[in-house]
Amino acid sequence: MFQPDPALKFYGDHHHRYMLDGEWLPYSVSQVLSWDMSPAQRAAIERTKDGEDGWQIRGNTIHRVLDQFLNGEGSIHDDKWTAWIEPLLADDLFKDVTTIATETPICDRVKRVAGAFDFLIEDKNRLILGDLKTVSSRKAVSSRKLPLPQLGAYASFLAGSPYRVAVTDVVSVICGPERTRCVFTNVDTAIAEWEEQWGRFQATQPSW
């Protein structure tokens, strides 16, 4: 059903960039989504990123645990994250599903932009594309903005060449301590949000 593009590679250690057919792609999904972020927002993100309680280690840990869970693997993690992980893995979304792919790079060959989706699962006749976000508090589970443009980007990429995968559902998974919230959104709505964001971003790029 889904075959990764063998010509697309992600180099995360130093470059944090994608290469397609031996050439660096000029854009990433995260770059497109964050180009208009205010200096105050960027400063807040950097301020809360590092440290043993920072969002980076929290997000990396919980993404890794979900990835291993969906692929039938066990995981070892710091007990401090158990309050996040237990309700996430127990959520009905992940019961009796077939895992198609996880943490997989994909791209739009026309736009020359790439990213990596968190999971693609099958539940009966539904093909569900999901994005996981972690938050620091139970209260923030309700207030966290949904990653619809990001999901729209990946759904759009999957529909195009060379994947030709028709996603039926997109779901935002917001994971906090003692609570997980899963929000389904119409695929076309998510794609429209991505196209709107891409249009604004593209308008800022130089014409050659």
Grouping H, G, I as helix, E, B as strand and the rest as coil, residue 39 is helix
Strands 126-134 and 27-28, bridge-based pairing: unpaired
Encode pLDDT of 8-55 as tens digits. Answer: 999 987 778 999 999 999 999 999 999 887 778 777 777 767 777 777
Read off the pLDDT of each residue in 55-72 and give the average, rounded to a whole number: 93
Encode pLDDT of 125-164 as tens digits. Answer: 999 999 999 999 999 999 999 999 999 999 999 999 999 9
Cis peptide, bond prior to residue 26, ω within 30 of zero: no
* Distances from the Cα of 177 to the Cα of 50, 80, 141, 158, angstroms: 19, 10, 9, 32
Q: Which two tokens stand for residue 58?
A: 């929290």
